[in-house]
Amino acid sequence: MRIGPYSFPNPVFVAPMAGVTDRPFRQLCKRLGAGHAISEMAASNPRLWNSVKTARRLNHEGEIAPIAVQIAGGDPGMMAEAAVFNVSKGARIIDINMGCPVKKVCNAAAGSALLRDEDLVARIIEAVVKACTPLGVPVTLKTRTGWSPEQRNVLRIARRAQDIGIAALALHGRTRQDLYQGQAEYETIARVKAELGIPVIANGDIDSPEKARRVLDLTGADAIMIGRAAQGNPWIFREIVHYLETGTRLPGPGWREMREVLLEHLDDHYRFYGEYTGVRTARKHIGWYLGKLPGGEAFCSRINLIDNTQEQWQAVADWLDRADSAPPLVHAA
């Protein structure tokens, strides 16, 4: 599996997720086996580049190369400018977002809203590829199967993107209208893969090692991309990689490993965001890790009332210390 000049240790990637795949989370997933990770999307509007939020998204200190940054927007010129700007900040792969289904993004004529205008899609891709090619930076595309089941046009878009010079295509097997409902369309991903010569990465509903194997077999994709299933479960990457290589399952983490990983994640998260934002944005991660465990839901309700990082960290540590004496964790098959 290669994207431009870059090869990856395995075909199990982290999907870019707004508000989730920040630097601490990407680094954690890579340490636990992910072969590649793409940043959460960065705005193409230059007026937003000096904001605190964008500055954090441009912080790639200590990240395993190659650094990949996703950009979002609907203006070809701005997208090209944003690509060059992010390359100057360390990006070595630029990913174009044409898959985000969130209303706020689509209302700004970006993300999957772009799929309604194939000519605009082509102009954006062409502008970004033209800007990145002299810099030796490959451009990838993340998209969906279409705007709606009645407007499923990804095959045409994929062919045009390849002709323009996209280096790889990540495809979520749903339309924008589907959001995250229903089943992912692996048959559509398979048709796209059969038509293209560039790498295709399958995304959507991959939540176990067995499902990962099945999706790779069904689609013929070169890699898979894990999104929601990694929230609170970064171990999924090593488990999938092990299963793909051996056909056997690794045991899931025990209480002690969960304690070590979660507390290290929180430390890194607090350093990255600072006190005020860190304690608030950490709540969702704690909920993902612990919310479905015995007693976890009630504990997370209490965690949401804590407003300083030291107390929050200690509360998590104490709860996991008590849980360590409970029966072994049982992980879903």
Q: Give residue 173's identity as a one-letter amino acid code.
A: G
CB-count burial class (<10 Å; 0-12, 13-18, 19+) for 328? exposed
Which residues make Cβ contacts (< 8 Å) with residue 198, sequence separation at least 6?
162, 166, 167, 168, 169
Query: Measuring CA to CA, how many Å separate 66 from each of 116, 118, 265?
Result: 32, 30, 22
Q: Which of 100, 106, 132, 300 is catalytic?
A: 100
Spatial contact of 143 and 125, defined as CB atoms under 8 Å apart? no
Q: Catalytic site residue 29?
A: no
The conformation of residue 226, written as its DSSP 8-state character, comes to E
Spatial contact of 83 and 41, defined as CB atoms under 8 Å apart? no
**Using CA atoms, how far apart are residues 66 and 6, in angstroms rounded to an integer?**
7
Spatial contact of 26 and 63, defined as CB atoms under 8 Å apart? yes
Structure tokens at 55: 């500055």
Spatial contact of 120 and 74, defined as CB atoms under 8 Å apart? yes
Q: How many CB atoms lie within 10 A of CB 182?
A: 12
**Using CA atoms, how far apart are residues 138 and 129, in angstroms rounded to an integer?**
8
**Using CA atoms, how far apart are residues 191 and 199, in angstroms rounded to an integer?**
13
Q: Which long-range contacts (CB under 8 A, 24 or more apart) does 200-203 make?
A: 200/168, 200/169, 200/170, 200/171, 201/13, 201/168, 201/169, 201/170, 201/171, 201/225, 202/171, 202/173, 203/15, 203/142, 203/170, 203/171, 203/172, 203/173, 203/227
Catalytic residue list: 100
